[in-house]
Amino acid sequence: FRVGAIAAAVVLLVAAYFVLRPSANYNELQKAYFASRPYVDPPLKHISPQFASFKIDNKEGGELVHSTGSKLSVPPKAFVNSKGLPVEGDVTLHFREMHDFVDFFLSGIPMTYDSAGVEYTLESSGMIEVFAEQNGERLGLARDKTIGVELVSRVNVSPTLEMPKGFNIYKLDEESRNWVYTAVDRMSLIDENDRLPGLDNLADAPGEAFAEGFEVEMNALNLKLENEKRKIEQSIPVPVKPYKPQKASSDDYVFELDFSAFNKPNATGKLAEAQQELAQLYQEYDNMLWRLVPGVNVDPDRLKAQFAEVEDVSIAKADGAAYEIQLRKGNESISVLAEPVLTGSDYTKAVNDYQANLQEWQQKMAQRQQVLQEKIQAVEKSIAEERKALEEKFKLQLDTLRNKGLEADASNMVVQKAVVNRFQISSLGIWNCDRPLPPYMTQLTAKFVDDNGKTLSHLKGYLVDKDRNTIGTFYVADVARIRFNAKSEKLLWLVTPDGKIALFPSEGFKQVDKDAKDFTFTLRKIDKELKDEQDVREILYL
């Protein structure tokens, strides 16, 4: 158990034993409480999820690579609008990964699975959320299309096992408030050399308890590596890709805009950025025109009849090559999405300029990638050396146990292995790579109080079994029932009404007698403002 800056304030908590009697209908109370809450229920709503965003041409599709090494293989014409029609042009794909109990906690996504009336806990080897947008409109996935996913993650395994068994793919169905099984997870190890040295001769009994400190330190190294990679990525700006010029077509609704009408010297922010871009375009191309973005719900006849002449024009950048144009005349106004188009010699010149700019952009991207690769390789080398030292320390612990004749204890030490989960998604949303675990056998009647002895009630409680990559939730009643793995390292907490974490640390569970039926948990409120994910991790990864 490692004590950090925050943990120093978290003393071992004194818990008293009482004869507790839970309400006879506690299960019904718990069921009613969760039914009254949103199915996806983030506990700290001011901490927004962090998505990676990718641009992709819907006509061409392509492969998208996340900073973690995960991949999305998107087929051509994969995305459709609300009417089920394929969209044209660039689509913005938003993607996030969730890998550990902190991710699961902040997401508010339930990790339970009901099958034939039995509630299972889902142990995850990685979870994703993905959605697509174009011009502010949410898109769907075409019925005949699927996106291939290669999700890089880590799973807990015994050092004597090569591959964990029983992982499947589930899609979250918020309407039915359950996970839907879709397929078997095609999981594979990323690196066969990840296996620690000297483990092949150990007994074949899979373990349940983590090696003391090993999992915590390995997680810290993984987090350190991801943070360093993120810093490197952010330190080198991504060159802006030039937009391919568009040619006016007879099928388009095309109109002219007088640049002087919206060139406002005092403009700031997005208006100023748009004006600067357009000033260059108007300077280079004498006869630049505008066309309505295909699929935008604007009546061209109304636009022509009411807004051929206007009193005020403002313009701001939208997605891709589009701009949002606000037109006002008297008390009437209209907002349209339009993009610049060219004809004749202007279009020919623009294509030539685009080819030259594209080549320059590709060179800059290659240079950026080379610098990134060099810096990331240096960080990976440093972290690999730290991992090796940690593995040697772990091996020494195993050898010590083995030399004492404690072969079974040695085989019960669990390690993490890097894997890639391969599957296909047939719709956008939340997908999870899991295996269902039956209910834990140990059951305890519990009461929860703060460090002033005040009863905590009508809240959601969180319980983590550190042997399993999951998180359990329960209803904090005046007297409650909780289930857990008596042999594993655990962590319990709740979020107070004022948005703070009240914690019962892993060390506190040593006070729970193995034969106890009742226990009062005294939770220590951590008086720290939770501004972001890192603040939460500093508290929960003690």
**Residue 261 and residue 167 share a domain:** no
Assess whether pLDDT exceeds 80 at residue 350: yes
The pLDDT tens digits for 467-490 are 788 899 999 999 999 988 887 888
The pLDDT tens digits for 493-515 are 999 999 999 999 988 998 888 78
Predicted pLDDT of residue 7 = 39
Query: Among 446, 499, 489, 504, which Cα is nearest to 11's?
Result: 504
**Residue 322 and residue 263 share a domain:** yes
Assess whether pLDDT exceeds 60 at residue 276: yes
CATH code for the domain in which residue 130 is found: 2.60.220
Do the domain assignments include residue 177?
Answer: yes
- C-alpha to C-alpha distance for 376 and 370, rounded to whole angstroms: 10
Which tokens in the block code for residue 167? 């992982």
Lowest-confidence range among 90-94, 186-190, 200-204? 200-204
| Amino acid at position 270, single letter | K
SS3 assignment, position 436? strand
Which tokens in the block code for residue 301? 């006849």
Do the domain assignments include residue 427?
Answer: yes
**Residue 217 and residue 151 share a domain:** no
Do the domain assignments include residue 11?
Answer: no
Do the domain assignments include residue 323?
Answer: yes
SS3 assignment, position 232? helix
- C-alpha to C-alpha distance for 100 and 470, rounded to whole angstroms: 7
**Residue 459 and residue 356 share a domain:** no
SS3 assignment, position 314? strand
Look up the domain containing 372 and give its range: 209-245+352-411
**Residue 364 and residue 238 share a domain:** yes
Query: Among 460, 507, 542, which Cα is nearest to 2's?
Result: 542
Predicted pLDDT of residue 16 = 36
Assess whether pLDDT exceeds 60 at residue 17: no
Predicted pLDDT of residue 201 = 32
**Residue 214 and residue 200 share a domain:** no
Residue 5: what are its φ and ψ, rounded to 5°?
Answer: -60, -40
**Residue 189 and residue 93 share a domain:** yes
Do the domain assignments include residue 100?
Answer: yes
Say if residues 470 and 450 touch (Cβ distance below 8 Å). no
Tell me what the mean pLDDT of segment 99-105 comes to: 94
DSSP symbols for 129-179 = EEEEEETTEEEEE-TT--EEEEEEEEEEE-TT-SS----EEEEEETTTTEE
Predicted pLDDT of residue 375 = 92
**Confidence class for position 408, pLDDT limits 50, 70, 90:** very low
**Residue 468 and residue 365 share a domain:** no
The pLDDT tens digits for 211-262 are 445 656 776 787 788 888 888 988 888 888 887 888 888 888 888 877 765 6
Choose the final residue of a domain: 341, 372, 401. Answer: 341
Lowest-confidence range among 15-19, 185-189, 230-234, 413-417? 15-19
**Confidence class for position 182, pLDDT limits 50, 70, 90:** very high
**Residue 356 and residue 237 share a domain:** yes
Higher pLDDT, 84 or 200: 84
Phi and psi based region of residue 212 (left: phi greater than 0; alpha: psi -120 to 50; beta: remaining):
beta
Do the domain assignments include residue 509?
Answer: yes
What is residue 458's DSSP assignment?
S
What residues form DSSP beta bridges with 291? Answer: 254, 339
The residue ranges of DSSP E strands in 382-488, in sequence order, are: 413-425, 429-437, 442-450, 459-465, 472-476, 480-484
- C-alpha to C-alpha distance for 133 and 511, rounded to whole angstroms: 52
Do the domain assignments include residue 347?
Answer: no
**Confidence class for position 198, pLDDT limits 50, 70, 90:** very low
**Residue 272 and residue 356 share a domain:** no
The pLDDT tens digits for 303-313 are 777 777 877 88
pTM assigned to the model:
0.59
CATH code for the domain in which residue 506 is found: 2.60.40
The pLDDT tens digits for 32-89 are 999 999 999 999 999 999 999 999 999 999 999 998 899 999 999 999 999 899 999 9
Do the domain assignments include residue 26?
Answer: no
N residues, the chain: 542
**Residue 224 and residue 198 share a domain:** no
Choose the final residue of a domain: 385, 403, 437. Answer: 437
Tell me what the mean pLDDT of segment 379-384 comes to: 91
Which tokens in the block code for residue 62? 């392509």
CB-neighbour burial class of residue 237 (10 A; exposed 0-12, middle 13-18, buried 19+): exposed
**Confidence class for position 189, pLDDT limits 50, 70, 90:** confident
Phi and psi based region of residue 387 (left: phi greater than 0; alpha: psi -120 to 50; beta: remaining):
alpha
CB-neighbour burial class of residue 465 (10 A; exposed 0-12, middle 13-18, buried 19+): buried
Predicted pLDDT of residue 302 = 80
Assess whether pLDDT exceeds 60 at residue 115: yes
Which tokens in the block code for residue 402? 């083995």
**Residue 367 and residue 327 share a domain:** no
Report how many domains make up the chain.
4
Which tokens in the block code for residue 421? 């989960």
Query: Among 467, 489, 420, which Cα is nearest to 206's?
Result: 467
